[in-house]
Amino acid sequence: MEKSGTDTGSVTGNRAAGQAKWTFMVYMAGDNNLDGAALRDIAEMARAGSTKDVNVLVQLDRIEDNLTRRFRITQGGGFKKDCLESFGDTNTGDPQILYNFVKWAADNYPADRYALILWNHGSGWWEDAKGRAAGPAEKKPRRRLFRHAFPQEHRSICYDDTSGGDALDNRELRVVLAGICALLGRKIDLLGMDACLMNMVEVAYQLRESVNVIVGSEIEEPFDGWPYAEILTRLTARPRQDAAALARWIVKSYLLSYKGKDETVTQSALDVSRIGEMTAKVDALSERLLAALETDSKLIEAAWRRSPRFYDDNYIDLACFAKSLRKKADAELQAKVVDLIAALKAGKGRAILCQGKIGRQVRGTCGLSIYFPGDRINTAYRNLDFSGDCKWIAFLERYRS
């Protein structure tokens, strides 16, 4: 970890007897406009609560009172009943604070499997490029219906408003999750992103060495976020399920929770062990797109315009872009496109385990987005592992130059 952490002291609750099947850890960055939503989600968790087989643990940093609290959520408990300890204000954008929480959880509530949920605003891979304003253009004011509230600085995930707007950037997230893997002695079974815009090929590739399964959304989430009561009721009833089964249930319950509510939502589960194969397909397509720039630039532009776009036209759905290209591509380009489309199909043993969506705007989406800005390239994109190992950045820079 690069930033100094706060020593949060020892746990005041009792160590769990024996070893549970799951420890479900929720890192709630509520030091922002999501403070109230955090309390509502803790109340949802208490409808299920912990059991001998499932520990439901929360660390919440609030803006309301500048305190950070740790909980083991019990059935019928919640914010006022389940706090095990509290300490001063922390910076949720400091990787050491996240590490300390997981170490406390693993030391005191060991389990066969671990889920870590990052709960907050999210911006996908995005970081502000140093030395210039590089955030998405604010074309017009937006209604704040979603968890992503367009703060002045756009950086990855877990924003903390009282810590200078700090957040976990891509390198910090990779490093802290690697440290957590070393702590646990293996990969994190499930990483949940209860935040906006996080299911991107770039983010999954960045975390490929630390996580087995990722669950999240490729678009903005409504403020209600995940339906924790339904997720945890199922988990506590079936504690022997593996990460893939839990991930599929999270996707299903998330979509059911927004059915008939006039919301536009997506949710998907990714098998991170297969994200390298996915990147190889994107790399092959990128190489062919580079070769086709002289003759097929209009085809590329048309495919971009037909694709669902998110985050002020900076991210696009990868499958929709590929399918639009396929319609008029030459034989060589079409072969690369077809390979990628096949890799984007959801199912057991695939990179996308399952996915779903609600809303006309996300019709045809696959649950995985990629960076493809409408104009200039954010120079911070070059810092990603994905950009170092894939020619997509070379294609973008040539195409948008």
262 burial type by CB count under 10 A (0-12 exposed, 13-18 middle, 19+ buried): exposed
Q: Which amino acid is at 37?
A: A
CA–CA distance, 342 with 197 (Å, rounded to integer): 23
What does DSSP assign to residue 85? Answer: E
Report pLDDT digits (tens) over 90-125: 999 999 999 999 999 999 999 999 999 999 999 999
CATH of domain 20-273: 3.40.50
Report pLDDT digits (tens) over 344-364: 999 999 999 999 999 999 999
- pLDDT band, residue 152 (cuts 50/70/90): very low
Q: Which residue has the tokens 């030391």?
A: 107
CA–CA distance, 3 with 95 (Å, rounded to integer): 7
Q: Tell me how crowded residue 19 is: count the other CB atoms within 10 A of its CB.
A: 11
Structure tokens belonging to residue 383: 């810092």
* Beta pairing, strands 111-119 & 20-30: parallel
Contact 6, 90 (CB under 8 A): yes
pLDDT(343) > 70: yes
Contact 197, 122 (CB under 8 A): yes
Please provide the average confidence, as pLDDT, over all residues in the chain: 90
Question: Helix, strand, coil shares of the chain as percentages rounded to 5?
Answer: 40, 20, 40
CA distances for 374 relative to 295, 304, 309, 313, angstroms: 20, 9, 9, 6
CA–CA distance, 68 with 181 (Å, rounded to integer): 24
CA–CA distance, 365 with 256 (Å, rounded to integer): 18
Q: What is the pTM of this model?
A: 0.91
Domain boundaries, the chain: 20-273, 276-351+359-399
Report pLDDT digits (tens) over 157-182: 998 999 988 999 999 999 999 999 99
Q: Which of 153, 89, 143 is nearest to 121 (CA)?
A: 153
Report pLDDT digits (tens) over 271-294: 999 999 999 999 999 999 999 998
Report pLDDT digits (tens) over 58-84: 999 999 998 999 999 999 999 999 999
CA distances for 25 relative to 56, 92, 122, 142, 241, angstroms: 6, 15, 18, 32, 17
**What are the residue ranges of helices labelled H in 1-121?**
35-46, 95-108
